[in-house]
Each structure stands twice: as structure tokens, then as C-alpha cells.
Amino acid sequence: MKSTPVGSTVPNNFQRLRLLHLRLSKLVAELDKDLSWFYAADIGFGTGLGVFSLYQIMKTSMDTFTLILFMFWFLASLAIISFASTFAAFTHEAAHGPLDCIYNINVQDISVAKLAQLNLFLSRLTGTQIGFTTSGLLTITKEFILTLAGVFLTYLAVLYTL
């Protein structure tokens, strides 16, 4: 949905848009059944590899070739996590994107049927998260990516001070 100005009316094809969004949400849920283990392994192993590589780089004396190898594995783990979780976060943002448009709709002079459609759509968007998960434990969002970056930066700071 395009962004709507404040006080706009409910589009005539709103029910079709809501049903299309519902079908796309079901598709994401079906894909998540297959991909959730991939995301959990990708983020889990990638984080473990990154933390281990960072520890080796910071606390172990090694020759230049070994240092380059550990740097490669550290950067590879960050890249693997970044690519997969960025796609998942963009999917989550797109699934919840219509919320801003719906909040700007003027509901004073609309029919009961359109108000029911609007409430159904709002309950779907504000209910459970729509997106890819890590084995159903948590939904991958932009905030989750920032949390992972914070984990790496905090671990780097702890290693540096030790």
C-alpha cells in the first residue's frame, strides 16, 4: 500500500488488499516452517564462529597467515549472518508496513462492514509477528540485527579490556 495522507478514506478494494496480505502472510509462515532451522543454524553457528575467531585474533599470538585465516572466518561469519538476517528483517518490515497507512484512515463516516475489515486487518498486523524466525524462538527484525551487532561489540570491548 502506498503511504496515505492523514484523514484519508478506506479504499474501495480494501477487502481485496487485506485478503492478499493474509495470503502473503500465510506464504511467509509456510516458508518459515522450512527456513526457520536454517536461520537458527546460520545465526547460531555464525555467532559462535565470529566470537571464537574474534577471541583467537585478540588473545592468541599467531603468524601472519593464521591471522589472515582467522580474519577471513570472522568476516565470513559476519557476512553470512548479515545477508540472511537482512532479508528476513526486510520481509518483516514489509509485512507490517501497512500499519502506518491504516492508522491515517479517517473512520468517522465509514460503514460497519468497512470498519470490520479495517479492524480485522489491524488485528492481524498488530497481533503475532509476521516474518522469519529462528526455529520459532524469535522473529528476525531490524532490532534483532542491532542486538547481534551489540553482542559482537560488547564481546570486542570485553576482550580488549582483558
Per the model's pLDDT, the better-predicted residue between 7 and 49 turns out to be: 49
Q: Does residue 25 lie in a domain region?
A: yes
d(CA 80, CA 76): 6
87 vs 20: CA distance, rounded Å: 21
pLDDT given at position 11: 80
Grid cell listed for 24? 502473503
Domain containing 48 equals 14-161
Is position 8 within any domain? no
In a domain, 74, yes or no: yes
Could you tell me if residue 1 is inside a domain? no
Q: Is residue 3 predicted with pLDDT exceeding 60?
A: no
Determine, yes or no, domain membership for 36.
yes
The predicted model scores a pTM of 0.79
Bridge partners of 8?
Answer: 105
Least confident of 2-16, 55-69, 109-123, 148-162: 2-16
Question: Does 43 fall in a domain?
Answer: yes
Q: How many domains does the chain have?
A: 1
**Does residue 130 have a pLDDT over 80?**
yes
Average the pLDDT over each of 65-69, 78-82, 97-101 and give the range with the smallest value: 97-101
**What is the rounded end-to-end Cα distance, in angstroms, of the chain?**
51
Domain assignment present for 9: no
Q: Is pLDDT at 101 greater than 90 in this prediction? A: no
Q: Is residue 7 part of a domain?
A: no
Structure-model confidence comparison of residues 127 and 5, the more confident one = 127
pLDDT, one tens digit per residue, over 34-79 is 999 999 999 999 999 999 999 999 888 999 999 999 999 999 999 9
